Structure 1
Amino acid sequence: MNAQGQDWDDLRLFLAVARTGSLSGAARVLGVTHSTVFRRIGAFETRLGVRLFDRLPGGYALTAAGEEMRDSVTRIEEEIAALALKVAGQDQRPGGTIRVTTTDLLAVGLLPRHIAAFRGKWPRIEVEVIVADTMLDLTRREADVALRIGNPGQEALVGRRVGRLAFAVYAAASLHARGLDDPGASDWIGYGSAHGPLSRSLTHWWPGMRQVYRTNSITAAHAAARVGIGLAALPCTIADCDHELVRAATFPEDFMLDLWLLTHEDLRNTVRIRLFLDFMAEALAADADLLEGRCPDCRGRAAGM
């Protein structure tokens, strides 16, 4: 196989099918149509003269030849990703694009005003925010920087804790006005099995809570709380400054989640990355009262205050 562009594209497509086990899965990953993947995989196998996949009712399974190719191509991909990181790490221009991955909660409720301030200071640096529930792989350059709740401890990543996120129980002002004497006997907006530490703590503190509405998105829970569906455990940094909500109760025990700002070790000295990391760390440190539920402009609306 030579190193011409079409061959590299075929290798990337082959890996996508191998990893997802289906044509539709590979099409979603690559942003192409199902028929494109079908046609190109068939042409690739014909050109190589070997069958790489068994077509099964449940999807595409690698043959022995396919498994050997997957292992070899994965090593090539890792070498290319490592080379790209090292080259990017030498970029000393205060310009270019930074790809930031985070959750919908932080992308909507926390980042926008800080990114606006960062762009005001460094207008030649563009910022792309990728909202993802799953953790994108920084070692594969799926993103340059991650703002995450909790430190994944992934090898080759460097970072710092940039804040602590406090939670409390919130209700729509109209719902709170009708009286909520016992949160444990009220209707709740729950997270089901999502957001493990928070969900487990809630069911431990209020085992009889009625989860009449469930979502895996804190942003969706915030929207549901605003219209009075039930109580919701929400981050104080968002809910305390929402005039449609009232802090109905505090948690029986201290509960906070750490915010981490992460990048790959090969990128930390790239000028635009370092500028962004330093700026965001300072901005979030200045937000400590808001993040930890001590916002002086908002807390007076909490129940009983």
Structure 2
Amino acid sequence: MAETAKASCMDARAQNWDDLRYFLAVAKTGSLSGAARRLGVNHSTVFRRIGAFEEGLGVRLFERLPNGYLLTQAGEAMQEGALRVEDEIASLSRKVTGQDLRLSGTIRVTTLDMLAFGLLPRHLAKFRTDYPGIEVELIVGNAALNLNRREADIALRVGNAPPETLVGRRVGRLVFAIYASKTYLAGKSAVELAAHDWVGFDTEHAALTRRFGAFLPSAEPLFRTNSIAAAIAATKAGIGLAPLPCGLADLEADLVRVAALPGDFTLDLWLLTHEDLRQTARIRAFLDFLAGELAREAPLLKGNGRDGPASSMQNDPMNAEARASATRR
């Protein structure tokens, strides 16, 4: 009988945990009514669940007596094993809940290279100071990692239509303008924008490429890249002019804002996570922190930083013609 009970208990581990919950409630209270109060259900539900549990196991776990339910020998063996399972589940629940409630642990954050290099570092440094118990693991790449599969916990992405499976908020807007390096501009006369050398983007930035093609169709980039961070570096090196986000380019002392771009040269900035993770303490702390930091950066991201509004331009020899060209188009 004991061996049968042990086997039954092993089988029970594979059953729905609710079966063991109902069994233990009856075992501890000695009655259906007591178990029902303990579980917050009605008497008939307990009666039905215990009967189905015994039938499924092929073992009688309780003797039905006038004054209550009494464990059989098999029931006692089952109780011993079920209590161990209950302890294991309770322990796991405490650990998981504790991690969720503590401001500690690891957060995996994914974002584009341009944001990882030009925007995030100073904020991550401050976050580390404010939350020393939380470790941030930054995954950099233009390919969007799948948050549903837990390839990352949080994504800082650009675009105007975030996936419906994720939750989050728009935390900023990147406004673009045309930039060039001081080295490139040295000695250049005021000529049409299209006559200059250009740094452009490949199909990974199709939206920007389409907009730029409509804005300046005769311009043909002689250097293309899938990385805005690389485009900033190429522009700094003097390869040519480039449409760049003001919030990053304005931080580069070597770059000069040459001309404005139409109002549709913008990208929304989204801070996203999975619905199941949004209430985890360390995730929530990071989301709230970064949203607040980026809100304070709004003037810079919109192009109102070092060079003033994105519609304005520096006083260099190209500006008069650049302004005229931009206005005509």
Same fold by TM-score greater than 0.5: yes
Query: Where does structure 1 differ by over 6 angstroms across 4 or more consecutive aligned residues?
Result: none
What amino acid maps onto 2:208 in structure 1? Answer: L
Q: Which residue of 2 aligns with 1:222?
A: 232
What amino acid maps onto 2:194 in structure 1? Answer: G
What amino acid maps onto 2:227 in structure 1? Answer: S
Q: CA deviation at 1:151?
A: 5.0
Q: Which residue of 2 aligns with 1:240?
A: 250
Identify the match of residue 112 of structure 2 among 86, 103, 110. Answer: 103
What amino acid maps onto 1:133 in structure 2? Answer: N
Q: Which residue of 1 aligns with 2:143?
A: 134
Give a deviation string over 1:260-280, Cα, whole Å, max 9, x none: 000000100000000000000
Identify the match of residue 160 of structure 1 among 162, 165, 169. Answer: 169
What is the rounded CA distance, in whole Å, between the counterparts of 1:191 and 1:213 in structure 2? Answer: 8
The reply to whether residue 265 of structure 1 matches residue 252 of structure 2 is: no
What amino acid maps onto 1:230 in structure 2? Answer: G
The reply to whether residue 169 of structure 1 matches residue 178 of structure 2 is: yes
Indicate conservation of the 8 Å contact 2:201/2:225, yes or no: yes
Q: Structure 1 stretches of 5 or more lacking a match?
A: 1-86
Q: How many residues align?
A: 218
Indicate conservation of the 8 Å contact 1:241/1:298, yes or no: no
Q: CA deviation at 1:90?
A: 7.0
What is the rounded CA distance, in whole Å, between the counterparts of 1:267 and 1:131 in structure 2? Answer: 21
Cα distance, 1:210–1:279 mapped onto 2, change above 3 Å: same
What is the rounded CA distance, in whole Å, between the counterparts of 1:224 and 1:271 in structure 2? Answer: 41
Indicate conservation of the 8 Å contact 1:99/1:145, yes or no: yes
Q: How does 1:250-261 map to 2 (within 5 A)?
A: 250-261=260-271
Q: Which residue of 2 aligns with 1:184?
A: 194
Q: Percent identity?
A: 55
Indicate conservation of the 8 Å contact 1:150/1:259, yes or no: yes
Q: How does 1:146-157 map to 2 (within 5 A)?
A: 146-150=155-159, 152-157=161-166
The reply to whether residue 304 of structure 1 matches residue 304 of structure 2 is: no
What amino acid maps onto 1:303 in structure 2? Answer: Q
Q: CA deviation at 1:92?
A: 1.1
Q: Which residue of 1 aligns with 2:324?
A: none
TM-score (norm 1): 0.68
What is the rounded CA distance, in whole Å, between the counterparts of 2:168 and 2:97 in structure 1? Answer: 18
Partner SS state of residue 146, structure 1: strand
Indicate conservation of the 8 Å contact 1:103/1:133, yes or no: yes
What is the rounded CA distance, in whole Å, between the counterparts of 1:180 and 1:106 in structure 2? Answer: 33
Give a deviation string over 1:29-57, Cα, whole Å, max 9, x none: xxxxxxxxxxxxxxxxxxxxxxxxxxxxx
Indicate conservation of the 8 Å contact 1:89/1:267, yes or no: no
Q: Which residue of 2 aligns with 1:91?
A: 100
What amino acid maps onto 1:170 in structure 2? Answer: Y
Determine which structure has more spread, i.e. the larger CA radius of gyration.
Answer: 2
Q: Which residue of 2 aligns with 1:193?
A: 203
Q: CA deviation at 1:154?
A: 2.4
What amino acid maps onto 2:302 in structure 1? Answer: E
Give a deviation string over 1:72-97, Cα, whole Å, max 9, x none: xxxxxxxxxxxxxxx68972110011
Give a deviation string over 1:131-186, Cα, whole Å, max 9, x none: 12111111111000000002554243110000000111001112223234311221
> Which stretch of structure 1 is more off in the superposition, 218-227 or 169-178?
169-178
What is the rounded CA distance, in whole Å, between the counterparts of 1:285 and 1:150 in structure 2? Answer: 17
What amino acid maps onto 1:134 in structure 2? Answer: A
Q: Structure 2 stretches of 5 or more lacking a match?
A: 1-95, 317-329
Cα distance, 1:303–1:95 mapped onto 2, change above 3 Å: same
What is the rounded CA distance, in whole Å, between the counterparts of 1:188 and 1:118 in structure 2? Answer: 37
Q: Which residue of 1 aligns with 2:41?
A: none
What amino acid maps onto 1:131 in structure 2? Answer: V
